[in-house]
Chains A and B, each alone.
Chain A
Amino acid sequence: MSRKFLSGNEAFAEGLRLARPEVISAYPITPQTIVVERLSEMVEDGSLKAEYVHVESEHSALSCAIGASAAGARAFTATSSQGLLYMAECLYYAAGGRFPIVMMNADRSTALPWNIYGDQRDSLSQLDSGWIQAYAENAQEALDFALMSYKIAEDKRVQTPYMANLDGFVLTHTYETVDIPTREQADKFLPPYETDNRIDFENPKNMAFSAGPDTNYIFKYKEHNGLLAAAEVVNEVEADFAKIFGRQYTGLTENYLTDDADYIIVTLGSIAGLCRETADKLRSQGVKAGVVRIRYVRPFPNREIADVLRNAKAYAVLEKDISFGNEGTVFTNVNSALKKAGVDVPGYNFIGGLGGRNISPADIENIYNDIANGTESINFIGIGGEDNGE
């Protein structure tokens, strides 16, 4: 193990080198660019034995990864924002074809207005594409996702592509200390990819076929069950990971001070740390505050969220996303989890950090105050302040 001061992009690249992908096809886009630059350097210097394919677009990047996976290779791509949207058609091919490709997405705002900064509207708009979706909080978790992703995606019960999301700039371009495991540890954790879902001249079979109304629904049902199965596999893989690397993760969600909490913020990604720190501050003032960080939005942690919010007085869902004409998509998902479990607790949606806007400690404290006193159902952080566009 070695300790280095790296950005989220660089940390992810280090993790990926240890995961030994065999084919990398990617098209650069800010703020993802550095991860593919580092990977191309690793291929160049021989420390990563992979075929690096330069493609002319994101659509081709994922198409190439699908082809590589269909040939039985461990494949990787990375993108962000409009690039993810441009490859959207292929997302469904990868998931429907049950190709366990891993993609790193640098979460970034979507146009227009054009903006390169971080928010989560790009990846959350693709929740229905059939991919596992993980959200990292820090560079270490990003590196660890790179290692765990293939083990989860390639599991025979899952066979589903995996999108690891890093908040643009706040994670991708922020430097922090990261422990890099040894090659020996990584190889012990992650065996080479083996699959029957590949082109094999000895045992030819039909792949990526059509399925009409008589059978199509069966494939879709199986695809759904594959993604659902990832929930248990995430837990198993994290238990294995802890044994070898000594870092224990907590499954689809991570709870902080929620056992006796009256007021809980449910959020995802890099803002969770500031939420925890604010909860600490409020606890010292006698307010029972807690935080739930959603680590996986697909498969969605329905049971985990219902269990943790059951006894709260109110909750907020803080997300860097808005589904125009309705509400934040994570809020919709959380509310559905509660409804299914028969939990009736007042909940409020806070939309923040759009287009990379800073979310301050005071913003988080205000959320706890607002939900304790009751507020609008949907709240845009900053609107109504001194420099908003109203």
Chain B
Amino acid sequence: MQEIIWLGRGGQGAFTAAKLLGAAYTINDANKYALAFPSFGPERRGAPVRAFTKLDTKPVVDRSQTEKADYIVILDDTLYSPQLHGLLKSTGTIIVNSKNKIDGALTFDADGISAEFKLPTANTVMFGLLVGLSGVVTSDEAVEAIKNYMPAKIQERNISALLKAMQEVAE
């Protein structure tokens, strides 16, 4: 099983990214299974939010919060702390949306890409960076998830941002 923890602030769309990953993973294969869930709580703009995606080739029945993740994806660099490595597998990676370098994490200026496509938040950019780094889903599957599960009027910009992020990783 592969497990991803998403960290963001209320309104940044961390849970949306968690859902898109789960949807993408399962979209073309009936033998793939996923769970996506938020750290349960009232949704308040600005408050720290955690979300989880679990991916497997058999039904995911363990609904407990992830204790050791393959990836931790952080949408807001003020939420990064070195203690997060305790939630990471030894082979795991932390990806942070930041203009600055962070020891022990990969950083990308995701806000720069989202601004380019006039998106108010970098969640699909971070989704794209994760897909590019991990290969856990294909770009086609990621695009199809956005087409199926995001509102029509914002699909195109989000798909462009996702593809740009994947290109960024490839380079």
- A-contact bits for B24-52, CB 8 A (1 contact / 0 none): 00110010011111101110000000000
Closest B residue to A270 by beta carbon equals B63
Stretch at the interface among A166-174, A198-206, A232-240, A379-387: A166-174
Stretch at the interface among A48-56, A218-226, A294-302, A352-360: A352-360
A346: interface (CB < 8 Å): no
Q: Chain B interface residue count: which class?
A: 20 to 34
Residues of B at under 8 Å CB distance from A? 19, 22-23, 26-27, 30, 33-38, 40-42, 59-65, 67, 145, 148-149
Closest B residue to A364 by beta carbon equals B64
- B-contact bits for A352-379, CB 8 A (1 contact / 0 none): 0000101111000000000000000000
B36 to chain A, nearest CB (A): 4
Residues of A at under 8 Å CB distance from B? 3, 5, 30-31, 116-118, 138, 168-170, 173-177, 270-274, 276-277, 356, 358-361
- Contacting residues, chain A, for B42 (C-beta < 8 A): 30, 116
Are B30 and A173 in contact, with the CB atoms below 8 A? no
Question: In whole angstroms, how far apart are the Cα atoms of A361 and B62 in the complex?
Answer: 8
- Contacting residues, chain B, for A138 (C-beta < 8 A): 61
Question: In whole angstroms, how far apart are the Cα atoms of A5 and B35 in the complex?
Answer: 9
Closest A residue to B52 by beta carbon equals A174
Are A170 and B26 in contact, with the CB atoms below 8 A? no
B13 to chain A, nearest CB (A): 14
A7 to chain B, nearest CB (A): 9
- Contacting residues, chain A, for B34 (C-beta < 8 A): 5, 175-177
Known interface pairs A174-B35, A175-B36. Does A360 touch B26 (Cβ–Cβ under 8 Å)? no
Are B64 and A361 in contact, with the CB atoms below 8 A? yes
- Which of A5, A175, A274 is close to B37, meaning CB atoms less than 8 Å apart? A175
Are A118 and B63 in contact, with the CB atoms below 8 A? no
- Which of B19, B64, B67 is close to A175, meaning CB atoms less than 8 Å apart? B19
- Which of A117, A176, A276, A358 is close to B64, meaning CB atoms less than 8 Å apart? A358
